[in-house]
Amino acid sequence: MEDKNDILLKQLFEQAAQQQIEDNGFTERVMMNLPEVKESRVRCYTRLWTMFCVVIAILIFWLISGWDMIEGMMTGGKHMLINTIEVFMLTAPTTEIEINPWTVVLLLGFVLVFLPYQTFRKLSATL
């Protein structure tokens, strides 16, 4: 059931959509007087700017020893994850909460491996 105001609004917009506004060729004259920009020049500038940014990024990455930083972060993250799982496996049976550590490990594997895989698969199928 529609409200009276909704019906009035629909009628107003339907009437407005049917109206034609004459511009006596104004739009065409404006489009003719716009300055022409050559696509090749713009495309060349964008490619040069992109190359400049890529070169600067590579230079900064090299100057700050980016590979060493990435390797250190990956190694540290791996050790932290292994230590966290190890501590959990050792302390979970001693808590008062009835929890099976293997269930938690399987659940963690499901969340970290299977769900991202399924998300990637669905996204790649839609694209």
Q: What is the mean pLDDT of residues 8-24?
A: 83
Tokens of 50: 């992109």
pLDDT digits (tens, 9 = 90+) for 54-75: 999 999 999 998 889 899 999 9
Closest-CA residue to 110 (of 118, 101, 120, 100) = 118
Q: What is the pTM of this model?
A: 0.37
Region of 2 on the Ramachandran plot (φ > 0 left; ψ -120 to 50 alpha; else beta)? beta
Could you give the CA distance from residue 7 to residue 91 in angstroms, rounded to a whole number? 66
Q: What is the mean pLDDT of residues 73-89?
A: 88
DSSP state letter for 110? I
Length, in residues, of the chain: 127
Residue 24: which H helix or E strand, with range? Answer: none
Residue 15: which H helix or E strand, with range? Answer: helix 4-18
Q: What is the mean pLDDT of residues 31-53?
A: 86
Q: How confident is the model at residue 21 (pLDDT cuts 50, 70, 90)?
A: confident
In this structure, how many other beta carbons lie within 10 angstroms of the beta carbon of residue 61? 13
pLDDT at 110 over 60: yes
pLDDT at 1 over 70: no
Tokens of 115: 């769900």
Mean pLDDT of the chain: 85
pLDDT at 103 over 90: no
User: What confidence score (pLDDT) does residue 2 get?
Assistant: 67
